[in-house]
Chains A and B, each alone.
Chain A
Amino acid sequence: MSIIQTAMYISLPIIILSVFIALIRLIKGPSIEDRIVSLDALTSMSIGFIACYAVLTNSTMVLDVGLILALLSFLATVSFAYYIERRHFQ
């Protein structure tokens, strides 16, 4: 096993663990905004996971998924923020 493979086998479980830690905040967050912040963090973590997976399996195709995920995350966060701000607007 090469060095980079060992590093991936260390970093992939850490990213999965941080996804589960962020899921705690997604489930119990007291307000909607907490849940949106947690979703944003989950998307960044999945982009990191995809990059590590691309290095581990030596396939460059999955990086496109990360690009689309970054685009969609920004769109989702901005639209959620817009909706929440206008909720009590007359």
Chain B
Amino acid sequence: MSLIFETICSILILVGTAFIFLSAVGLVKMPDLYMRTSVTTKSSTLGLGLVLLGTAMFFAEVSVIARAVLIILFVFMTAPVASHMIGRASFLDGVPLWSGTKINHLEGKYCLKEHYLKSPDEVDCNE
């Protein structure tokens, strides 16, 4: 394997590792569950994609590339869905927002009894 190719793989994996480390730092430092979800999902998905891309480039076999692309596709498809479900469940569960939050667009718009977004003229849902 040529030296340049190996260097490119190393750089890809190191940048991915840096993104994974930043997601861990954001998980501890962010003040709010929703910010933590956002930071962790985006950053660790990108980091994982870069690390697996570097791995696939390093081996350069069909079987490894197929597996790595499958993992990347699966993570890119499922991470937003899982993050959205956790955010929705925690909002309905009543997890508090950060004390410095200016606008809460969803305040009072959920029917907390039946768990759906109510229409504006519907008033007697939460009784």
Contact = CB atoms under 8 A, between A and B. Distances in A.
A17 B25 CA distance: 10
A52 B68 CA distance: 12
24 contacts: A3-B10, A7-B13, A7-B14, A11-B14, A15-B21, A18-B25, A19-B24, A21-B28, A33-B86, A33-B95, A40-B40, A41-B23, A41-B24, A44-B20, A44-B79, A45-B20, A47-B71, A54-B59, A60-B67, A63-B64, A63-B67, A66-B67, A67-B74, A82-B85
Contacts of A21: 24-25, 27-28
A55 B52 CA distance: 10
Interface of B is mostly: helix
Interface of B: 3, 6-7, 9-11, 13-14, 16-18, 20-21, 23-25, 27-28, 33, 36-37, 40-41, 44-45, 47-48, 51-52, 54-55, 58-59, 61, 63-64, 67-68, 70-71, 74-75, 78-79, 81-83, 85-86, 88-90, 92-93, 95, 113, 115
Contact of A52 (B13, B71, B88): B13
B90 A4 contact: no
Given A7-B10, A44-B45, A34 B17 contact: no
A85 B51 contact: no
Contacts of B86: 33, 36-37, 40, 77, 80-81
B20 A33 contact: no
A24 B20 CA distance: 16
A66 B48 CA distance: 11
Nearest to B9: A4
Interface of A is mostly: helix
Given A34-B36, A63-B68, A87-B93, A41 B115 contact: no
B89 A81 contact: yes
Contacts of A25: 27-28, 36
Interface in A52-90: 52, 54-55, 60, 63-64, 66-67, 70-71, 73-74, 77-78, 80-82, 84-85, 87-90
